[in-house]
Structure 1
Amino acid sequence: MQGLKKMRMPLIFLLVALLFPLFTDNQYYIYVVTLAFIYAIAVYGMNLVGGYTGQLSLAHAGFFAIGAYALGLLTVDANVPYWLAFVLALVITTVIGTLVGLIALRTKEHFFAIYTLCVGYIIYLIIYEWDALTGGVRGLIGIESPAAIGPITFDTGISNYYLILVFLVLTVIFMKFLTESIVGRTYVAIRNSEELAQTIGINTMKQKLISFVISTFLAGLAGALYASFVRFIGPDISYTMMTFDFLMYAIVGGFGTLFGPVVGTLLIVILTQSLQFMEDFRMIIFGPLLVLLVIFYPRGIVGGYQMWKMKRAYKKKQRSVDQGSTYEGGD
């Protein structure tokens, strides 16, 4: 009963997400929410390595772009069947992520962040400059939409919406089991004190590498879904500003929380699209709001809500104890 109560809000969100396309015929709204779902998958990767393991990777947009370009090149240039290209894109991203992680994780804290920022920028330059392979500034056009699975086709906005929603739900379920397992607790131990984690026998290098590789896998997954959904990609998706957008979504939703990436991404993406007419003043609006959020809700919206619930439960319990003491004193 307690477990069902905890899952009440996620189940309500899932129900709303399933019914949303049935209550609107505006394809633009469906497009924006689908895009937010894709970004949320990528943010889950950043949240894992940053929020749980304590390693801030600033190359996340680069791995997002690798997944997108791998799928695009395999389907457009090599004529590989879509789902095979999809799997290969994830493998390519994960392999590159492993190689980068083996070197990057020899550094710590801000040195790790600086190193991954440099890696992300190098990925951007490769995509931008390697015109013969990536199309350079022109990008890739005409990327295939997801191929049919039996009788189910994905040639409409609504069908793509539900496909990406399935991937998002699977990502959330995977993250729930991972973060609540002994492996997830190991990541938190490393985040809190790597030296202490080493003294109790945790192979911190191995665990940080696994966390980083899973993070790049999720970034590649989001990138591959993005490429087949938008069907056009350019070097801008690998630019550092994209990484900082992901970071903002994670901070707003709540670093180190299970549902923070979904809440933060949906809120900011929908708000950004609603304020498109004020694009030139975007950072003037979001900058102060982000500063205020960090000051008053350092754990983000979801983290702040969890803290409020814990304090409320504690005060309720304390009142019960005080009342019990009063009755005993009266007797």
Structure 2
Amino acid sequence: MSPRSTPPTVAWIAALIAGLVALPLLVSDAYILHVMILIGINVMLAVSMWLLGVSGLISFGQAGFMFIGAMTTALLTKSAGWPFWAALPLSALVPALVAAPVGRLSLRVRGVYFFLVTLAFGQVVNGLFAYFQDPFGGWYGIRDVPPPQPAALFTTLNKVPFYYLCLALTLITVGVVYRVSRSWFGNVLWSIRESELLAASVGIDVPGTKLIAFIVAALFAGVAGSFYAAYFAYISPLVFTFEYSVNMLIFIVVGGFASIAGPIVGAVVLTLVPEMFRMTGKYQLLAFGLILILSMRLMPQGIAGTYAAFRARRVGSSLPGSVPSPGVDRET
């Protein structure tokens, strides 16, 4: 059984969620809650990219879909006067609808050409929103995006409501993506990743399956963008750049790709590290790069993948009569 097919223990997940729910009761520091919110946003986007990567695709257009979701929320809440709770589902739907034709076009090419097409899409979205001052705000973006309702609760000085909203959206995103990855559809995605020709030979619609994964990934990127707009009350083309998508890919690489724990761990670690070294100024990026290099050198399977392999060897060596073979990783 592969690492991705081994579900984490229910007790561990319940304890983790309970700890996250109780965190604002134990910690009153607004900065810590702000960092946790940043982690939640990054987890949502990294997990959405990971789902697409399950089928063997890596998209550099996730920041573009996130920007579309953020812009939808900003326009609906500030210009049209919609409440955030009505704008949120539409902000997820619009990127998904845009992803349908974009995915159909980009999935016609493979390899580096797919990267280039998705990269071009992200640049087009960014340039389009930057070019039109009305209604997108141009390079200056849109400021004073209304918060969720009630506005008296979701204030700039009160991070707790935003924290719980981010936690709820993150748990929904992770839960849905996890269930999808372990469903029959997820098995189809994994089979496509292993061999497209073999999957097609048994009757799997490879382009259609990839397109669905592309759309679902865009949908959750839109959710992350919608919350981003409501939390920061400001969006700009200078935020949702190509580097944003690259960072999500780095989260997955550092965390590990074998299971959904990988992008989560990567997002947590690589969001905390820059914050820990923020006071050092120029050494902040140096610490980020050093961790990336060391993780790829010492843990090529990622943090989560290395831990899973270590645990598998430990469990295997503790079984009666088991003699682990040198250089061979036991599967759980």
CA displacement, residues 170-204 of structure 1 (integer Å, 9 cap, x when unaligned): 12221221111111111111111111111111111
Which of 244, 247, 250 in structure 1 is aligned with 2:246?
244
CA deviations 1:100-119 (Å, max 9, x no partner) are: 10101111122111111111
Does 1:27 pair with 2:39? Answer: no
Mapped to 2, the partners of 1:192 and 1:307 lie a distance apart of 20
Unaligned runs of 5+ in 2: 1-5, 324-332
Aligned equivalent of 1:133, options 127, 132, 135: 135
Structure number with higher helix proportion = 1
Residues 265-304 of structure 1 mapped to structure 2, 5 A cutoff: 265-304=267-306
> What is the alpha-carbon distance in structure 2 between the residues aligned to residue 5 and residue 29 of structure 1?
27
Cα 1:183–1:5 change in 2 (3 A) is closer
- Is residue 28 of structure 2 the alignment partner of residue 39 of structure 1? no
1:258 aligns with 2:264: no
Kindly report which structure 2 residues correspond to 1:1-331, keeping only aligned pairs within 5 A, or say none: 6-50=9-53, 52-148=54-150, 153-155=153-155, 156-317=158-319, 319-321=320-322
Q: Distance in 1 between matches of 2:177 and 2:266?
A: 16
Contact preservation (8 Å) 2:69, 2:223: yes
**Of 219-228 and 35-44, the range deviating more from structure 2:** 35-44
Report how far residue 287 of structure 1 moved.
2.1
The residue aligned with 1:329 is none
Partner-residue secondary structure (3-state), 1:235: coil
Alignment CA distance shift 1:284-1:271 (3 Å): closer
When normalised by structure 2's length, the TM-score is 0.89
State TM-score, norm by structure 1. Answer: 0.90
Q: C-alpha separation between the residues in 1 aligned to 2:34 and 2:225?
A: 16
How many pairs were matched up?
316
| 1:16-74 deviation digits (Å, cap 9, x = unpaired) | 21121112221111011112101211111101111x11101001111111100110011
Give the AA of the match of 1:126: L
CA–CA separation in structure 2 for the residues paired with 1:186 and 1:313:
29
2-structure distance, mates of 1:281, 1:174: 37
Stretch moving more, 210-219 or 154-163: 154-163
What fraction of aligned residue pairs are identical, expressed as a percent? 27
CA contact (8 A) 1:45 1:215 kept: yes
- Which blocks of at least 5 consecutive residues in structure 1 are unaligned? 323-331
Range moving further from structure 2, 159-168 or 3-12? 3-12
Contact preservation (8 Å) 1:56, 1:109: no
Alpha-carbon deviation of 1:261?
2.2
Contact 1:67–1:220 (Cα < 8 Å) also in 2: yes
Between Structure 1 and Structure 2, whose CA radius of gyration is higher?
A: 1
| More displaced stretch, 232-241 vs 79-88 | 79-88
Aligned counterparts of 1:9 and 1:234: Cα–Cα separation in 2: 39
The SS at the match of 2:135 is: helix
